Amino acid sequence: MTSLNRAGRSIYLLFFVGIIAISFSSIFVRWSTADVAVIAMYRLFLTNLLMLPFVWKYRHEMMRLNARQWGLLLASGVMLALHFLLWMGSLRLTSVASSTVILALEPILILAGSVWLFKAKINRMMIIGMGIALLGSIVIGAGDFQLAGTALQGDILSLLGTIAVAVHMLLGQFLRAGLSAFSYNFWVFFVAACTLAVYNLIMGHPFGGYAASEWGIFLLLAIVPTIFGHYLFNWLLQYMNATTVSMGVLGEPVFSSLLAWMLLGESLSAIQMSAGVVIIFGVWIFIRYGKTKPQIASTEASVAGKGPIEPTTV
């Protein structure tokens, strides 16, 4: 096996790790009693705090951004804040399975945006793979779509949050062409956290007085789904395009539903478990028959912030 093949396998392994990591997000949110905007704010501020020891290494790149990059970073950060606010809010109104299955629409939105903005090319097998994975996602959350009232409100919030994160990912694909993953993530997380802080001030949400268990949940959210999830996915934009990375979201209902069954006592039928296998199979087809394989950039180029090797197809 060549070093390039080994590196490619490592990229796919990290992709899988990211899927597992983001699947814990819904569980941690359901465990917390704090307002979702406060949860998201501290999740991101704590992530920035964990990243601070490495800022010095990237200080030159982080401060030499032009006006256009700052504008796009601000937009990306605000979209990420809206995603957390809307999607995490949906978890208080509907089930984990229902909320995450709507989030699985993200790859379709990003695919459309990639074709429109980046002139990305797709093939029939990639569409088939995405369709298979989406079908499995629908089966997992189908039972909850029969509910009305607050569940419907939660589903709407999840849909709006999905649109927000799709815009965030498309902006990320563009910005990552000239920024290292660290600089991009640090500023986007900081902008999103500040946006949520302003929202919390306006709404009068308390910034303190939380139990130690709540701070533990905030920290878990910063470490697991943010650093090992969102940060990792943004880093993978150096080797995969936004549509391919977003396909990882289709795996989230599988592991989120399984975790909700184990940790929250939510029901999980044999049909839903079978649908999980279908989702994973669909994601594999999409990646397997994509026209480009993960691009392996040099370490020197990454550290210097010279940007990724841009894929030309979805």
- Tell me: the pLDDT tens digits for 119-144? 777 788 888 888 888 888 777 666 55
Count Cβ atoms below 10 Å from residue 205 Cβ, excluding itself. Answer: 16
Read off the pLDDT of residues 106-119 as tens digits, 9 standing for 90 and up: 888 888 887 777 67
Read off the pLDDT of residues 185-223 as tens digits, 9 standing for 90 and up: 999 999 999 999 999 999 999 999 999 999 999 999 999
pLDDT over 90, % of the chain: 36
- Region of 169 (left: φ > 0; alpha: ψ -120 to 50; beta: rest) is alpha
Residue type, 56: W
pLDDT value of residue 47? 97
Kindly tell me if the per-residue pLDDT of 310 is higher than 80.
Answer: no
Return the closest-CA partner of residue 296 out of 311, 312, 284.
311
Distance CA 221, CA 42 (A): 9
Read off the pLDDT of residues 162-192 as tens digits, 9 standing for 90 and up: 899 899 989 988 898 888 989 999 999 999 9
Distance CA 156, CA 128 (A): 27
Return the closest-CA partner of residue 87 out of 198, 19, 162, 153.
162
Kindly tell me if the per-residue pLDDT of 293 is higher than 90.
Answer: no
CA distances from 45 to 32, 61, 65, 75 (A): 17, 21, 22, 18
Count of residues making up the chain: 314
pLDDT value of residue 142? 63
